[in-house]
Amino acid sequence: MCGIVGYIGNQSAAPILLDGLKKLEYRGYDSAGIAVMNNRTISVNKVSGRIANLCEKTNDGKNVKGCIGIGHTRWATHGAPTDINAHPHLSNDGRFAVVHNGIIENYIDLREKLIENGYHFESQTDTEVIVHLIEKYYDGDLKKAVLKVASKLEGSYAIGVVCADEPDKIVAVREYSPLLIGVGIDENFFASDVTALVSHTRNVIYLEDGEFAEITKDEVSVFDSTGKKVEKTVSRINWDIQAAEKGGFEHFMLKEINEQPGAVKATITPRIKDDTIDFSESNLNDLDVNNISKIIITACGSAYYAGCAGKYVLERLCRIPVQVELASELRYSDPLIDNKTLLIVISQSGETADTIAAMRECKERGAKTIAIVNVVGSTIAKIADHTIYTWAGPEIAVATTKGYTTQLSILYLLSLFIGKKLGKVDDSQYAEYLDEIKSLPKNIQASLDMNPAIPAIAKKYHNAKALFFIGRNTDYAVALEAALKMKEISYIHAESYAAGELKHGTIALIDDHQPVIALCCNEALFEKTISNIVEVKARGAEVLAVSFEDNQKTAAIADDVITLPRVNTIFSSAVEIIPLQLLAYYVAKENGCDIDKPKNLAKSVTVE
């Protein structure tokens, strides 16, 4: 989704802004722009399409003079992705420029009133009302004007503003949209995402909802929504820019797929002390598990599918009913929740608008909340009663991979932790299951190494019009995520079906050479899935089976086989998804797709 960046200091602002915008490209966007101030004049350059166009237009920023500026990557919501609709937007008198992430829900009313007052609109965006309102309310104090405007806005926003009359500062404000300040020496920054500024500084201040920052080159002052000064702590980012670069891989996605053994290890190791699961860092060791009557997991997209896989493990080890709900549905479902409901919220970015809204709704109704989040300091991490971080490092490719497997590894630990507390898992099972979880990094590495034939298999399937993924229970949960990976990066229609459902309609779609990817890692249901393979093969399907390496039966029956090291079925999903991520990657590569930035998608979905 949209990204914003700002700079004030002694260096030329434009190249820094352009570099920051490039770092935000992964979030997904369709136009970009910068506004830079020099001698009290604001110049705006904006283009539809790629940042490369903006670099070309400005000679990599060298043609734009000035040491203070703001930049934006736009993911169109209100108005097409045109040059005019791109941000920054200028006030009619040219004295103010604004960048904005989020959505202003009451913009139509505001726009009509501004037009009545004689303001002229250039674009179709909701954002443009902000800059005209600032012009309207400005009486010599930018902070005061922004404060006043913010009180009139409904919706979500992270906003950066520069003003020609106050050329030594940027004012930024957030409400339900991420924003952080980068604190440098003789220079300061702001951005919607830490990746945009980590090459300049690792010292950051996270703004809370309703907070404003006045940023000069020497100082950052933060205020609450009443204008009262707030003392903020400066946090230190513990990863560097190399972590957000490709490191020799052709795509971020491939790099991140290969990072999974390390990411899962980094996620589980700090939570295991003396062969015991320790969530003291999240203040969970004293969780009153006997007061939990049901668990609801909520999330969107792949995080939701991690929840679908986690449900099997939680129910198996804790014997508590678990519901997995799409956040966009849960938020409007008048959910049945009380103070015996444990809500597990899963989000890589920690900023997904629907997930935040569902979480707030359930919290208000009394649920206790545990968030599984990757981005430190994100909104979800802050709202939750307990936050467990996945230490996956920055995930740049739009399609999540290490985000998903680290989420699963936390769900495994949490299931075992709660199950043991409830007395549903005995000591010897606990030791056995913990060993399984500790072996995940090794087994993920093995499944990465075990399938050199995947690029060749991808060549065989890349022309398919549709791909079907089938499986039962844990295999079905993995099929859901595998089909999403395939759809989003290769643009091939891919569907996942619970294998037992085929006969109830879907099998009508199977005919000669239709590829079916059959997931066969659920030991207890193996024979059932084999029967489903036989059924589709009898109708001409070509079957690619995913199974444990020592399983002879699938090799005999399927046309192609992808193998995994043998693992306990309870914890197999995090290993089983690996070759299917690779398959999606190589199919997309065969089809010449823009793998790291799939069309129409954004990394962090900060609007509803």
Tokens of 377: 């300091």
Tokens of 484: 């999403």
Based on the shown chain and the rule CB under 6 A, indicate whether residue 605 belongs to the binding site for ligand F6R. Answer: yes
CB-facing half-sphere around the CA of 340: CA atoms within 13 A: 7
Tokens of 142: 């930018």
Based on the shown chain and the rule CB under 6 A, indicate whether residue 301 belongs to the binding site for ligand F6R. Answer: yes
Out of 31, 352, 445, 447, point to the residue binding ligand F6R (CB under 6 A).
352
Based on the shown chain and the rule CB under 6 A, indicate whether residue 347 belongs to the binding site for ligand F6R. Answer: yes
Q: Is 603 a catalytic residue?
A: yes
Q: Is 163 a catalytic residue?
A: no
Out of 161, 300, 416, 520, point to the residue binding ligand F6R (CB under 6 A).
300
Based on the shown chain and the rule CB under 6 A, indicate whether residue 303 belongs to the binding site for ligand F6R. Answer: yes
Residue in the block written with tokens 């399984």: 436
Total interface residues for ligand F6R by CB under 6 A: 16
Alpha-carbon distance of 23 to 597, in angstroms, equals: 12
From the list 543, 539, 494, the residue with the least C-alpha distance to 512 is 539
Q: Toward ligand F6R, which CB reaches closer, 128 or 354?
A: 354
CB contact at 8 A, 375 and 349: yes
Q: Please state the closest distance from residue 387 (CB atom) to ligand F6R, in A.
A: 14
Peptide bond into 565 cis (omega under 30): no
Of the listed 136, 143, 217, 603, which one is catalytic?
603
CB-facing half-sphere around the CA of 148: CA atoms within 13 A: 14
Q: How many other CB atoms are there within 10 angstroms of residue 422's CB atom?
A: 15
Based on the shown chain and the rule CB under 6 A, indicate whether residue 348 belongs to the binding site for ligand F6R. Answer: yes
Q: Looking at this protein, which amino acid is placed at residue 168?
A: D
From the list 370, 395, 161, the residue with the least C-alpha distance to 255 is 395
Based on the shown chain and the rule CB under 6 A, indicate whether residue 184 belongs to the binding site for ligand F6R. Answer: no
What is the sign of the dihedral through the CA atoms of 534, 536, 539 and 545?
negative
What are the phi and psi torsion angles at 234 (to 5°)?
Answer: -95, 125
Mention every residue, 6+ apart, whose C-beta is less than 8 A from residue 198: 182, 237, 239, 240, 241, 244
Q: Please state the closest distance from residue 608 (CB atom) to ligand F6R, in A.
A: 12
Residue in the block written with tokens 């009180």: 151
Q: Please state the closest distance from residue 177 (CB atom) to ligand F6R, in A.
A: 14
Tokens of 346: 């899963």
Q: Toward ligand F6R, which CB reaches closer, 303 or 516?
A: 303
Q: Toward ligand F6R, which CB reaches closer, 174 or 421?
A: 174
Alpha-carbon distance of 447 to 445, in angstroms, equals: 5
Alpha-carbon distance of 40 to 522, in angstroms, equals: 67
Q: Please state the closest distance from residue 228 (CB atom) to ligand F6R, in A.
A: 32
From the list 51, 41, 19, 64, the residue with the least C-alpha distance to 182 is 19
Q: Please state the closest distance from residue 158 (CB atom) to ligand F6R, in A.
A: 16
What are the b/e assignments for 565-582, b being 16+ CB within 10 Å? Answer: bbbebbbbbbbbbbbbbb
Candidates 86-94, 161-169, 250-258, 342-350; binding stretch for ligand F6R (CB under 6 A): 342-350
Candidates 143-151, 211-219, 345-353, 425-433; binding stretch for ligand F6R (CB under 6 A): 345-353
Based on the shown chain and the rule CB under 6 A, indicate whether residue 393 belongs to the binding site for ligand F6R. Answer: no
Based on the shown chain and the rule CB under 6 A, indicate whether residue 193 belongs to the binding site for ligand F6R. Answer: no
Q: Toward ligand F6R, which CB reaches closer, 496 or 563?
A: 496
Based on the shown chain and the rule CB under 6 A, indicate whether residue 85 belongs to the binding site for ligand F6R. Answer: no
Alpha-carbon distance of 507 to 526, in angstroms, equals: 19
Out of 400, 522, 554, 606, point to the residue binding ligand F6R (CB under 6 A).
400
Out of 302, 409, 443, 551, point to the residue binding ligand F6R (CB under 6 A).
302
Helix (H) or strand (E) holding 413, with range, is helix 402-421
Q: Please state the closest distance from residue 303 (CB atom) to ligand F6R, in A.
A: 4
Based on the shown chain and the rule CB under 6 A, indicate whether residue 349 belongs to the binding site for ligand F6R. Answer: yes
Q: Toward ligand F6R, which CB reaches closer, 66 or 403?
A: 403
Of residues 229-288, those binding ligand F6R (CB under 6 A): none
Of the listed 2, 67, 362, 593, which one is catalytic?
2
Candidates 208-216, 348-356, 423-431, 544-552; binding stretch for ligand F6R (CB under 6 A): 348-356
Report the residue closest to ligand F6R, judged by CB.
301
Q: Please state the closest distance from residue 574 (CB atom) to ligand F6R, in A.
A: 15
Q: Please state the closest distance from residue 16 (CB atom) to ligand F6R, in A.
A: 27
Residues that bind ligand F6R (CB under 6 A): 300-303, 347-349, 352, 355, 399-400, 403, 484, 488, 604-605
Instruction: Point out the residues that are catalytic.
Output: 2, 603
